Homo-oligomer: A and B are copies of this chain.
Amino acid sequence: MERQDIHNSDMPVLCRNCEVRHRGLCGALEAGQLLALSRHTQMVRQEAGSELIANESEVHSYANVMRGVVKLSKMLEDGRQQVVGLQFAPDFLGRIYARHNNLTAEAASDVELCRIPKTALEKLVEEYPELEHRLHEQALRELDEARDWMVTLGRKTASEKVASFLWLIATHIDPVTEARRQEGLVESVTFDLPLSRTDIADFLGLTIETVSRQLTKLRKDGVIEVVNNRTFTVPDLERLETRCG
């Protein structure tokens, strides 16, 4: 997979076929730099539910999310849990520069990751400042998202929280339809939830019962249609947005 076709171009085939290359970290790099990077990367598939990063574990590698959804969470000593973020392709996964991880990462759906060892990435970052710039911008984006979510956690009602969650998923799960939505071309969306009711509750600071009740309320109000437990359709996204508080 990591072999390059020198008769064609300097770009590794792995990267040439990479769907997220232009949007993610690697968009920063020229062909030659991509080659340097790809010498150390490895594509791995992980099935839903597998632990990608264990809390308190030593950092050995980082990764780019290529496909699927990753769930980031933290736990109090007594077991109370809070999901502190979701990552979608092409997000960078891992806390660079830290010795130890301070959260848990789990595959929420089946995921594909492009892994790179800690030392390899850190060396490349020193060499190519544009790489650090990209990582910095992602950190800032995640910080913005975390702060937006703090408003949801601290100040919204259960009903608004659930609507906000559905809105988040509807607008992040599929970059293609999201692009069309932003041009006003789409108002109805169908999607699969990447999280169980328990995870949703842990994301929203609620119980699963409250999440369930608010979902049925949204269904009865016609804001969502339930295809099955895990897949919903939102007939009118603007209508959903008004429910987000």
Query: A residues bordering B, Cβ < 8 Å?
Result: 72, 74, 76-78, 80-82, 84-85, 95-98, 102-103, 129, 132-133, 135-137, 139-140, 142-144, 146-151, 153-156, 202, 204-205, 245
Contacts and interface: CB of A to CB of B under 8 A. Distances in A.
Given A132-B132, A140-B97, A103 B147 contact: yes
A153 B205 contact: yes
B97 A151 contact: no
Interface-central residue, A85, A144, A150, A156, by most chain B CB under 10 Å: A150
A140 B95 contact: yes
Contacts of A76: 151, 155-156, 245
Contacts of A80: 155-156, 245
Given A95-B140, A146-B147, A154 B205 contact: yes
A150 B153 contact: yes
Contacts of A72: 147
A20 B42 CA distance: 42
A205 to B, nearest CB: 3
Nearest to A95: B140
Contact of A84 (B84, B142, B147, B156): B147
A66 B202 CA distance: 38
A147 to B, nearest CB: 4
